[in-house]
Chain A
Amino acid sequence: MKIKTVIVDDEELSRSVLKEYLAGHEDIDIVAECANGFEAVQAVNNLMPDLVFLDIQMPKLDGFEVLELIGADAAIIFVTAYDQYALRAFEVHAVDYLLKPFSAARLTESLRRAREKIVRSERIPIPELVSSVRTPTSRLERVLIRAGPDVHVIPVEKIDYIQAQDDYIGFKTAGKEFLKQQKLGDIESQLDPARFVRIHRSTILNIDRLAKIELYGKDSHVAILRDGTRLPVSRPGYARLKVLL
């Protein structure tokens, strides 16, 4: 059985040393080489590889963000010069963590572990994986959304508000909406609470976008955004807003 392999590294020399080492392993079939995170996400989606060598510091998306987008169907081996990500790498169930520069023997050991995992074909559901990537203290800096072959990267400060819609949540930014399969509560816990407020059971608001709050009916409120959008505010949501304002 051939192992379909994708190499992701922005440095050509780094890719070439991997290719050279891998040439000695007949079961390894390199199906793609990617120089950045976007290419990696597309290649993995299209080719469904068994094994991915993943650099961490790359343009566009870093290795962890790529992993968040592709899920964990493939066995992942991180390749980097930095040892400070090792713990995080194993938290996301990477097969191995190769520190540059590495020897052919060390790579052979990584491949042995990868083959074991591929044979067992363990699969980890994506949501579990994603939540394990982020420790509770680390704040989300940007939201990654995969739409077919495209990847959208939305910096959190560009989000106007987030609304729950059935199984999805919609990120509204500058009049556009991007849907992602996630729970509103999950995203709420990853955002900066000083900036994003749950104003309603189904809405999280970026407080920078708020123009004013008006009384609506007897004791409910409505938030009016800078662009004129009106969003209902629940009673606990109003209490939370008042704390921040």
Chain B
Amino acid sequence: MHPILTSVQRLALYVGSWSLIALLFAVIYSTASGAATAESLATVVPLCILYSFVCLSAWYICRATPLEARSVLQIVITHLGSAALASLMWLAAWEAWTQVLAAWPPLAPGVEHYRSQLPLVFATGVLLFWLAGMFHYLLIAFETSRQAETRQLGLEVLAREAELKALRAQIDPHFLFNSLHSISAMTSTDSGGARRMCLLLAEFFRNSVQLSAKDRISLEDEIAMVRQYLDIEKVRFGARLAADITMHSPCGSCLVPPLILQPLVENSVRHGIHSLVDGGAVRTAAQCVSGHLKLSVENPVDADAPRRTGTGVGLRNVKQRLQMLYGNEASVHVVREDRLFRVEIDIPCNSQVQD
């Protein structure tokens, strides 16, 4: 289907632009032939509107003669031929229309006037048809690029969904192995402790499975999960691990993607506390300032340890997820000092209730 005929608005715009051409040509025609203004208008305007529909056929010619697939000569010959043909048809229409108009005495000289201007009318017909051809080429290029854009957009949405699925944070399985090893160690010496650890683990995994299935959870829930995680790691690291969590109470209802803090806290334990003989404290803080939620996770590091190249999967994962969910509204900032490592997150605090 012709793109201009698919919508009334487009058609109106098209015919409207042709009316302007018609008026312009009427002026030229009247000057050239000496016809009166009324006669010139009555002759030219209807014929131009008629010709505008003939010119729509240029679309089919343009489609059959794509610019990139045909040689210049082919294109020129095709358009020259079709323009001449269209213009000849237009001449026939002129002949007929001026005859019709001649039935009304004041317009009787119209036929003479027209016949004296045959070359002008023919040339105009060819020219207009060519213009229509160019216009249609533009139209085709525009439509193609818009289609490509839509397709690209669709692909991007698909890719993002797939990526999000893949990025959905996973709990490090080694955390489970190490915890089980701790339980195995405690069974003979501290059976109460072993049982407590089993319960902590069960609770943590139940929670993380439930929460990670959701798109957004409240910060409160996320912090609770972080607390459970640290409780388990405290069993393993003993006095080496201290946890310090501060959350401004109004932030608790802010919605965050699940497991957004947990991987950072996990990194803090794994790369910070684990590398220090005397351990240290993992500090997690949440603050909300004018609609923004500011989160930070901080841990001490060994000053002599080589700075790890690359930021690690966990942190990169968190960054990408936030980037995709919030775009430019999210920022992740990494601070690495001599004895300190801190990740700061800034995201909009959205606290709508979600099912």
Contacts and interface: CB of A to CB of B under 8 A. Distances in A.
Interface stretch (A6-14, A160-168, A195-203): A6-14
Interface in A119-142: 141-142
Contact of B306 (A14, A60, A82, A142): A142
B181 A101 contact: yes
Interface string A154-188: 01100000000000000000000000000000000
Nearest to B187: A17
Contact of A81 (B181, B183, B238): B181
B178 interface: yes
Interface string B297-312: 0000010101000000
A16 B187 CA distance: 11
B185 interface: yes
A232 B275 CA distance: 40
B181 A17 contact: yes
Interface string A9-28: 01111101100100000000
Contact of A101 (B180, B274, B275): B180
B304 A155 contact: yes
B216 interface: no
A157 to B, nearest CB: 8
Nearest to B278: A59
A109 to B, nearest CB: 17
B277 to A, nearest CB: 5
A100 B180 CA distance: 8
A11 B235 CA distance: 10
Nearest to A16: B185
Contact of B277 (A59, A99, A101): A59
Interface string B301-335: 01010100000000000000000000000000000
Nearest to A99: B177
Category for how many chain B residues contact A: 20 to 34
Contacts of A99: 177
Category for how many chain A residues contact B: 20 to 34
B292 interface: no
B181 A10 contact: no
Interface of B is mostly: helix
B290 interface: no
B277 A14 contact: no
B178 A17 contact: no
B354 interface: no
B238 A12 contact: yes
B188 A81 contact: no
A31 interface: no
Contacts of B177: 81, 99-101
B189 A16 contact: yes
B185 A14 contact: yes
A48 to B, nearest CB: 24
Given A59-B302, A142-B306, A13 B186 contact: yes
Contacts of B185: 13-14, 16-17, 20
Contact of A153 (B178, B180, B235, B304): B304
B236 A11 contact: yes
A42 interface: no
Interface in A12-68: 12-14, 16-17, 20, 35-36, 57-60
A11 B237 contact: yes
A13 B181 contact: yes
Contacts of A82: 174
B182 to A, nearest CB: 5
22 contacts: A10-B274, A10-B277, A12-B238, A13-B185, A14-B185, A16-B185, A16-B189, A17-B184, A20-B188, A59-B277, A59-B302, A60-B275, A60-B304, A81-B177, A81-B181, A82-B174, A100-B177, A101-B184, A153-B304, A155-B304, A155-B306, A156-B306
Closest 6 interchain pairs by CB? A17-B185, A100-B181, A101-B181, A81-B177, A13-B185, A141-B306
Given A36-B277, A59-B302, A100-B180, 17 more contacts: A10-B277, A13-B235, A13-B236, A14-B182, A14-B185, A17-B184, A59-B277, A60-B277, A81-B174, A81-B181, A100-B181, A101-B177, A101-B180, A101-B181, A141-B306, A155-B304, A156-B306
